[in-house]
Amino acid sequence: MIDKQLITNRFLKYVVIDTTSDPENPAFPSTEKQWNLAKLLEKELIEIGLEDVELDENCYLMATLPSNIQVQVPTIGFISHIDTSPDFSGINVKPKIIENYQGNDIILNETEKIILSSDYFEDLKQYIGQTIITTDGTTLLGADDKAGIAEIVTAMEYLVHHPEIKHGKIRVCFTPDEEVGKGAHLFNVEKFDAEWAYTMDGSQIGELEFENFNAASAKITIKGKSVHPGYAKNKMINSILISNDFISSLPTNEIPEKTTEYEGFFHLHTIKGDIEETVLEYIIRDHNFDIFEERKYLLQKIAFDINKKYENDCVFVDIKNQYFNMKKMISPVMHIVDIAEEVMNDLGIEPLIKPIRGGTDGSQLSFKGLPCPNIFAGGHNFHGRFEYIPVESMLKATEVIIGIAQKVAEKYA
């Protein structure tokens, strides 16, 4: 149904454009280079025949595919993000294409001896016989979420060229800065004007998600006192050693590498320090809101206990909520998940309904009044050198978008 070479070329065109976002910059977008892809997409949406194409001052790109039926049905939307993660380099991406993959290890970079191992990354073996796009081992690929963009654009183009497929009004939006937690902050839900939407931002084929972590960030600042080590007895306060007290006070098994499914965690991702000051940066995650609140309380309690131990206010905790579990907002409208599940079944795709161990723009959008489950975009191993995507998964995701548009028209016409 969908031209394989078309979507491959479209995806490759997008991923070579560096759109890395910056968590330290409060501007929208956080990096000027995100405009490069946004402006290309603006032109492309106009060329394929969408209407109301608008790229606003904050780098949010919206457009409309008008209804081609006489009766009014719900307006739905599809959303993906332009930026790629700052966790790994997205500069000078050089994708590699492996045709008719046979289940073997893939040499990403012979010089650097970087190998995508099919034993370590066992999901690879489910794509035997397919076309795999990988990195060259030195950058991420950017399938998160340029695959989603390619799928939405390709689906809209297909619907324009095939008016025999009946559908209602469809809105699309491409957002900046999702990877730094700001993708939905300036999203104008009223202007988007859809009853519900889907983010095309999941991973492997079949994923369908309407639950995600409750999330917060925590900055732990530990103040010390530097004194010459030869005269330090009862005088020096070594913030680095106190930070070790703090770290070891948290549950050792509640970390990302030891948890799965609904299990939450504390993730220490940055340490910077010397004797005078050490800063620990954590992210806190849990699907259960009450346990999420307990996790935040535990950090405060550990700080209190350490301050009491040292008889000094040396540990300071700053916690900021980031997003919440969208299940609360989607549960009353589960029919929107059911529609996506029906379409997947119709297409012979096994739905993998599971909680997101992370977040998407959809979680924040759901709380802003736009219920927004998440659908697979097809990639694996996001945010690193071992990222890859089967082209066939992109084709299936595109078919899901088209199928949802058609299914909504059938159900509500």
Q: What is the CATH number of the domain that holds 257?
A: 3.30.70.360
Percent of the chain with pLDDT over 90: 92
Task: Please confirm, yes or no, whether 178 is among the known catalytic residues.
Answer: yes
Q: Per the residue annotation, which of 83, 157, 209, 399 is the catalytic one?
A: 83
* Shared-domain flag, residues 115 and 146: yes
Q: Per the residue annotation, which of 42, 144, 151, 178 is the catalytic one?
A: 178
* Shared-domain flag, residues 185 and 222: no
* Shared-domain flag, residues 135 and 248: no
- For 32, left (φ over 0), alpha (ψ -120 to 50), or beta? alpha
CA angle 121, 127, 131 (to 5 degrees): 110
Cα separations in angstroms, 271 against 222, 367, 389, 411: 11, 32, 33, 53
Q: How far apart are CA 266 and CA 253, in angstroms?
A: 9
Q: What is the pLDDT of residue 358?
A: 79
Q: Which of 323, 345, 362 is the last residue in one of the domains?
A: 323
Angle separating helix axes 4-15 and 143-161, nearest 10 degrees: 140
* Shared-domain flag, residues 207 and 270: no
Task: Please confirm, yes or no, whether 83 is among the known catalytic residues.
Answer: yes
Average pLDDT for 37-54: 98
Q: What is the pLDDT of residue 184?
A: 93
* Shared-domain flag, residues 344 and 223: no
3-state secondary structure of 134: strand
* Shared-domain flag, residues 252 and 120: no
**Gyration radius (Cα) of the chain, Å:** 23
* Shared-domain flag, residues 338 and 234: no
Q: What is the pLDDT of residue 361?
A: 86
Contact 203, 108 (CB under 8 A): no
* Residue range of the domain that includes 173: 4-212+325-412
Q: How many domains, in total, are found in the chain? A: 2
**What would the pLDDT profile of 181-240 be if each residue is shown by its tens digit?**
899 999 999 999 999 999 999 999 999 999 999 999 999 999 999 998 999 898 888 999
Q: How far apart are CA 355 and CA 360, in angstroms?
A: 12
* Shared-domain flag, residues 116 and 264: no
* Shared-domain flag, residues 260 and 179: no
Q: What is the CATH number of the domain that holds 39?
A: 3.40.630.10
* Shared-domain flag, residues 200 and 335: yes
Give pTM, 2 decimals. Answer: 0.90
* Shared-domain flag, residues 244 and 113: no
**What would the pLDDT profile of 86-100 be if each residue is shown by its tens digit?**
999 999 999 999 999
Average pLDDT for 123-134: 97
* Shared-domain flag, residues 87 and 113: yes
